[in-house]
Structure 1
Amino acid sequence: MEFTELADYEISAGTLTEWLPCAAEEAWRADPRPASYIHEAHLRRSAGGRGGSGRESWLGTAFEVSGPMDTETFRRALQRWIDRHEPLRSHATLAAVDEAVGGVVRRTAPPGKVSVRFITHGRAEPATIREHLHGLFDDYTTPHLWPAYVFATLEPDPGDETSNSASSFTVFFGADHSIIDGYSIVLVSSEITALYEEERTGRTAELFPVGSYIDFGASERAGSTQLDDDHEAVRIWRRTLAECGGDAPAFPLPIGHRPARVTPQQRLSERWFDDAEATLFAERCRDAGAGFFAGALACLGQAAADLAGAERFRTVAPSHTRTGPMWAGALGWFVGLRPIDIDLSGDPDFVTLATRAARELHDTRSSARVPFDRVGELLGVPIRPRFVVSYMDVRFVPMAAQWPEWNARALRSRSYTHDVYVWLNRTPQGVNVSVRYPDNTVAAANVPRFLERTCELMHRVVDSGPWAAAAE
């Protein structure tokens, strides 16, 4: 599934309907479970910003469902999905006391207490619909209000050729990052489609049970209370900050100055490999004793050496924290962060670099298992990632083979930060790469150039085999 922005998703003219979760005041119950570290930190970072809007922190998805829209059936499917995932029925807010140390207050509604109402708008053209969806997601996906998520559907004009099916409708979903992560997003289309089909036909959805991210966050917090500044994860981050001048690793090439005026970042999304090429690249990596991500990091590192003369490649890599089967299909922010530092010295060949990258991923795994914001507490400094490289293999997500047929995409909000994020996603169709970077001429020249060189190196591994010396 390609990760992109809503602006890049093809939208047809048609009729838009908003689907809005709601619950009576008496449905809510006080819930003593704390927020996860990353959720609470997100609440604090976003407090007071632009009226608490979610403009910089929502994730979402869009996908088509075949057949005409059955309004009541779809409403029941959404309510069942909300019942399935407790974070959609729970809300945490900063405590009213001293917000520097105050923690959060949580309220949760039991299953069956959240209903969904809908508002249908008149027919509109694609530009109007896209603008409306942007506003809808920005308004609803703030972590400081419930619901921090929203649904919409688009029924295209009869005979519209931009839809994959002559009779279909498109589902849009957006949620604040506090209740969903990149892996959660790729689960949404299959689950909602399965529940809709069960409601429509009686065919069992066969969704396996899932745990609650709220329980995960409470357990994570309890398990982190005994950490101290001598923990391995803290030592790894302390060393990284010291070697990077007090900050997280930066992009290896200049990306220009932070603008005085807040400007949305630029973006690009490309298909680098088809499935056969991705399989061959994985085999080359395996022959080198490394995994796919380690091989990709080797090529990223070599690109940094080629273009910037770098002797080390540094970045931050997200890693999932779904440690048990109950979390495999759960919605939540199951993400840890690890600093990556790969030695580029000695004119290494691909096998050497891939081996070094694999060793680094192994040696830093403990730092991804500890809540990132807890590490920051122990170090006494806020750690803000500046250059992130994310890798996800989503080939085995339920119904992943149907994503092209469903025109399914993972969506992310616009970003206004001064950093570079790279997402490499391996799907049944191959490898997609999505990137966002500052909107200035320096970044616009250097980031695509760096990615182009990385892509060339990865294809060189596939086409000619691992390079024997530093790539020219």
Structure 2
Amino acid sequence: MRVTAIDRYEIDPGTVTEWTLAAPERLRRSSVPPSYNQRFHLDTARTQGVGRSVWMAGSFDVPGQPDPDTLRRTFDTFIRRHDALWTGFDVHPDRIERHIVSPDALGLERSAPREFTDTTALRNHLRDRFTRVCDPLTFPAFLFATVERDTRTTIIAAFDHTIVDGYSLAIAVRELSTIHEILAFDPEATAAEVDALLGPAGSFMAFCETEHQAGREATVTTGDPRVRAWAKFYDDCGGTAPSFPLDLGVEAGRPVAQASDVQTVLGGAESDRFEEHCLRAGGTMFTGILAALAMALRLEGGPDRLPLQFPLHTRRDPRWENAVGWLTTSAPLTVPITEGDFATTLVDTHAAFRSALTLGGLSMGQIHAGVGERYRRTRTDLFMASYIDYRRLAGSERHGELNAHHISNVTVCDDAQFWVSRTGGGLSLRSRFPNTATGHTTIGRFVARLSAVLGAVAQQGIAAPARPSVAVRVREA
């Protein structure tokens, strides 16, 4: 699955048709509270306004020009499987109310087709429509679109972030493509038969209830070792979340237009070698990437200890494995860097990573409540690095055949964030950073440096840690 941003999405022009939910006559109030992630996202949307549409989309191709009735049934079947798509929110300064509608009351409306002959114009149109419809303060906050051509059609499912995370997009691509194939082959197939073939979907609403109940039952104090660890992490970051350590030409708390960059940083065979070297040295692919990222920043003038946060999915319970929703949390990590010595940096990073994993079990809401005034929010964004190996997700063996993409919106930001994704083609890095001259220069140099560090390890291997001697040295540019 190729991870990209809408301004870099490679899509051929064609005829665009949208499929949106008809506005239901009424939504009833639900007692299920928003998850912590949803609450944070909705509060930010209410107070900031600009750039609030943080939508994400999954896309894939099917041959020819699909039958409209088959498409309608495909989208309807998918909606009925996932209760995250049945709800919206009323957001007030003092409360957030969830509303829900029965899936039986939801109907899809098909737009008039619109022809595009230019890729840039098509991307701009899709961005505008997704931004308008996938608004967290409206319902529904998602839509489906098709881009038809003579020999193939691209199907796109776009959602506000309150509804999905990155894993959810992979689930959406797998299920939508499978449902469409089933219904195209057997138009008489029932929703129950499709569900039996796909397996249980999982309820995101049930996850929200479980998270809320766990938060009410758990007593979290400042003496909790997990709270103490987070408090120390924030103290080390100056009483706030970590920020990218190099100049991006933007003031904290004053976001500007976002820039994005997508590059392949290691090929397929190189990625295999890099992972093999990291495993032999006592690390993993992810901790190797973090070590390389930290060393690249150090070579660009960054610190010798790099604090950052990384997302973790919360799908360990089989009930949530195939749920569409936002099921992630965050963990703190400080990477200690031994200059010029990748082996030692990797070992220390892996130890820090293992320690960070022991801090699970609490939501970010509980953490911030426990930390109290030792944490203050100074930036809109935070410095984070994410890693996902799409090869391990169900349906990934077809991502190449389907031309599957994970597409993100381009909004505003005041920090840098990075998503590393692995496919059979290697490692890809998506960067999100302020669209300033300084930001482009800084991120350009950093990404080039990171590619050099990763490439050096893949080619040279990793010697045993031996302070203070150098195991893998990357030359100064």
TM-score, normalisation: structure 2: 0.89
Aligned: 1:440 with 2:432: no
The answer to whether the aligner puts 1:130 opposite 2:123 as a matched pair is yes
Whether 1:188 aligns to 2:172 is yes
SS in 2 for 1:78: helix
Task: Give the stretch that moved more between structures: 105-114 or 265-274.
Answer: 105-114
Q: Which letter does structure 2 place at the counterpart of 1:344?
A: I
Q: How does 1:295-444 map to 2 (within 5 A)?
A: 295-308=288-301, 310-345=303-338, 347=339, 349-380=341-372, 381-383=375-377, 385-444=381-440
**Structure 2 residue corresponding to 1:208, chosen from 175, 187, 199:** 199
Structure 1 unaligned residues grouped into runs of 5+: 159-166
Counterpart residue type for residue 330 of structure 1: A
Q: Cα offset for 1:39?
A: 0.7
Q: In the alignment, what sits opposite 1:18?
A: 18
Tell me the distance in 2 between the aligned counterparts of 1:263 and 1:257: 7
Q: How far apart, CA to CA, are the structure 1 residues paired with 2:302 and 2:139?
A: 49
In 2, the alpha carbon distance for the partners of 1:90 and 1:282 equals: 41
Report the equivalent of 1:227: 220
Aligned 8 A contact 2:266 2:454 in 1: no
Distance 1:93 1:227, change over 3 A: farther
Quickly say closer, same or farther: Cα 1:433–1:293, change in 2 above 3 A: same
Cα deviation, residue 423, structure 1: 0.6
Change (3 A) 1:215 1:312: same
Give the match for residue 92 of structure 1: 89
String of CA shifts for 1:245-297, please: whole Å, max 9, x gaps: 12222212221233999642221111122322222211111101111111111
1: CA distance between counterparts of 2:250 and 2:29?
46
Of all paired residues, the percent bearing the same amino acid is 27
SS of residue matched to 2:413: coil
1:170 to 154, 168, 189: 154
Match of 2:453 in 1: 457
Q: Distance in 2 between matches of 1:333 and 1:259?
A: 27
Cα 1:128–1:253 change in 2 (3 A) is closer
Q: Distance in 2 between matches of 1:92 and 1:110?
A: 15
Contact 2:343 2:471 (8 Å CA) reproduced: no
Cα displacement (A) at 1:109: 2.6
- Contact in 1 for aligned 2:250/2:256 (Cα 8 Å): no
Measured against aligned partners, the alpha-carbon deviations of 1:14-43 in whole angstroms (never above 9, x if no partner) come to 2211100235335x4432111111111211
Deviation of the 1:424 alpha carbon = 0.6
CA-to-aligned-CA distance 1:37-70 (integer Å, 9 cap, x gap): 111121111115438x743x11112221112221
3-state SS, counterpart of residue 285 of structure 1:
helix
Query: In the alignment, is the contact (CA less than 8 A) between 1:23 and 1:113 conserved in 2?
Result: no
What is the alpha-carbon distance in structure 1 between the residues aligned to residue 328 and residue 252 of structure 2?
30
1:339 positional shift: 1.7
Partners of 1:231 and 1:74 lie apart in 2 by 51
Q: Work out the CA distance in 2 between the residues paired with 1:368 and 1:393.
A: 21
1:185-215: CA deviation from partner (whole Å, max 9, x where unpaired): 1222221011111111128752121211121
1:435 is displaced (CA, Å) by 0.4
Query: Which stretch of the first structure deviates more once superposed, 308-317 or 176-185?
Result: 308-317
Equivalent pair of 1:460/1:466 in contact (CA under 8 Å): no
Question: Separation in 2 of the partners of 1:310 and 1:404?
Answer: 39
Offset at residue 140 of structure 1 (A): 1.0
2:144 is aligned, of 146, 151, 169, to 151
Distance 2:265 2:302 in 1: 25
Q: Distance in 2 between matches of 1:18 and 1:373?
A: 37
- Change in 2 beyond 3 A, CA 1:121/1:457: same
Q: SS where residue 25 of structure 1 aligns?
A: coil
Name stretches of at least 5 consecutive residues in structure 2 with no aligned partner.
Answer: 464-469
Q: Please state whether the residue corresponding to 2:115 is helix, strand or coil.
A: strand
Measure how far apart 1:106 and its partner are.
2.0
State the Cα distance separating 1:119 from its structure 2 match.
0.6
Amino acid at match of 1:170: T
| DSSP 3-state at the match of 1:456 | helix
Alpha-carbon contact 2:7-2:410 (below 8 Å) kept: no
- Structure 1 position 368, deviation (Å): 4.9
Q: Are the counterparts in 2 of residues 54 and 141 from structure 1 also a CA contact under 8 Å?
A: no
Please, what TM-score do these two structures have when normalized by structure 1?
0.90
Instruction: Note closer, same or farther for the CA distance 1:305–1:122 as it changes in structure 2 (3 Å cut).
Output: closer
Deviations 1:119-170 (A, max 9, x none): 12332333433222111111111111110111111112x3xxxxxxxx2111
Q: Which residue of structure 2 aligns with residue 162 of structure 1?
A: none
RMSD (Å), alpha carbons: 2.2
SS at match of 1:308: coil
3-state DSSP of counterpart to 2:365: helix
Give 2:157's aligned amino acid: F
Contact 2:255 2:414 in 1 (8 A): no
Q: Which range moves more in the overlay, 177-186 or 399-408?
A: 399-408
Corresponding residue of 1:161:
none
Matched-pair contact (CA < 8 Å) for 2:143–2:158: yes
- Equivalent residue letter for 1:110: S
